[in-house]
Structure 1
Amino acid sequence: MRSGEYSTTIEVPESSAVAKGKAPLMAAVVHQEQAGWKRGVSIMDFILRLGAIVAALAAASVMGTSDETLPFFTQFFQFQASYDDLPTFQFFVIAMAIVAGYLVLSLPLSIVSIVRPHAAGPRLLLLILDTVALTLNTSAGAAAAAIVYLAHNGNSNTNWLAICQQFGDFCQKVSGAVVASFISVVAFIFLILLSALAIRKP
């Protein structure tokens, strides 16, 4: 190049082919990171379901075996307390058995969410069904808790006598069943939150 002349050198930018090559690579990395944390959420979902199954089965079985007969009775008259004496406790046993059965049937969908973390269909279905099961679980637990409270404290306005001083073992079992049902309620709340977190758009 002679003195006084302008340079004709042109800087060529990075080729579009290279730029296009970087974009899919970055997208693949982001996709893998999203799949990683969604798979972690799904694994936590599966573990919570196992815990909720144990709690629901414990609630149903403990309530279903709660009965006590006082030692002082005659051939024709005896004092006995059993869960089937109260429709509320019967509803509790049936409801918790349904909840436990649903949780067992939901395990395959939870496994599918682990294998395919980006699949929104199974996660959305679990979210809807978990909400229905939470409603049933909460209603059964709350109804039973009201009866347990009356059994412990009674109600003088309605002449409902406290029976737990006489039927201590019975009251201990039904109280434990109610506590177990509310443990499964807490598990359902976390399950719903995890499902909502997993199906949200990144």
Structure 2
Amino acid sequence: MKSGDATTIEVQETSAASKGKAPLIPAPLPPPRPEGWRKGIAIFDFVLRICAIVAALAATAAMGTSDETLPFFTQFFQFQASYDDLPTFQFFVIAMAIVGGYLVLSLPFSIVTIVRPRAVGPRFLLLILDTVALTLATSAGAAAAAIDYLAHNGNPNTNWLAICQQFGDFCQKVSGAVVGSFIVVVLLVVLVVLSSMALRRI
């Protein structure tokens, strides 16, 4: 090699961004969740609403027809027990009728959630209104249950007499109405939970 000759060595340039770093690869997207479970929840919601409608209307009818007159008195002097003698039972009939009517009106919205399982608006509306109906049914059932307990057992401290020994049919219908209202309460609790689960996973 002559001293006057210049030797050129080519050096391959490397990007500064690629030194010591792995190439950026986007993270894989999670697989889409199947829609079957949402539709299953919506169908179960529809069935529970029908059951709650039946229980609410049965409770309303049982309380509304609770009327008994003791047979061994004359027509001028009779002992009679009826639901409209007590404001608590009147409130029960009105409240359970409102709950039953609401549940009937909620069926179209429940059908919408079956057809469109990912729809947020109808599900959120049902969640709010179900909570209101749950509060109303709970208050009516609890108040009627307290009066029904006094009718069966009485309260000597306040001179409340147990009237169910004389008015057996009346107390039987009242007790059935109270049980029906508690069934409605349980079904509404399940409906609220189902709506919350569906909204959480959308």
- Smaller-chain TM-score range? 0.7 to 0.9
- Between Structure 1 and Structure 2, how many residues are aligned? 177
Partner Cα separation in structure 2 for residue 127 and residue 157 of structure 1: 43
Structure 1: give runs of 5+ residues left out of the alignment. 1-18
Indicate the residue corresponding to 1:193 in structure 2: 193
Deviation of residue 98 (structure 1)? 0.2
Amino acid aligned to 1:42: A
Q: C-alpha displacement at 1:201, in angstroms?
A: 3.2
Equivalent in the alignment of 2:83: 83
Q: Distance in 1 between matches of 2:125 and 2:76?
A: 55
Following superposition, the deviation at residue 76 of structure 1 comes to 1.6
Q: Which residue of 2 aligns with 1:9?
A: none
Match of 2:51 in 1: 51
Secondary structure class of the residue paired with 2:140:
helix
Q: Does 1:64 align with 2:64?
A: yes
Match of 2:135 in 1: 135
Structure 2: which 5+ runs fail to align? 1-24
Give the equivalent residue in structure 1 for 2:18: none
Task: Tell me the residue number matched to 1:100.
Answer: 100
Equivalent residue for 2:16?
A: none
What is the match of residue 118 of structure 1?
118
Report the residue type matching 1:186 in the other structure: V
Moved over 3 A (4+): none
Counterpart-to-counterpart distance in 2, 1:126 and 1:55: 19
After TM superposition, give the deviation of residue 75 of structure 1 in Å: 3.1
TM-score where L is the length of structure 2: 0.84
State the identity as a percent.
Answer: 76
Give the aligned CA root-mean-square deviation in angstroms: 1.6
Letter in 1 for 2:121: G
Q: 2:180 matched to which residue of 1? A: 180
The structure with more radius of gyration: 2
CA distance in 2, matches of 1:174, 1:43: 32
Classify the secondary structure of the residue corresponding to 1:200. Answer: helix
Output aligned runs, 1:149-188, within 5 Å. Answer: 149-188=149-188
More helix by share: 1
Correspondence for 1:38: 38
Q: TM-score, normalised by structure 1?
A: 0.84
Matched residues in 2 for 1:74 and 1:197: separation? Answer: 60
SS in 1 for 2:201: coil
Deviations 1:74-101 (A, max 9, x none): 2321011000000000000000000000
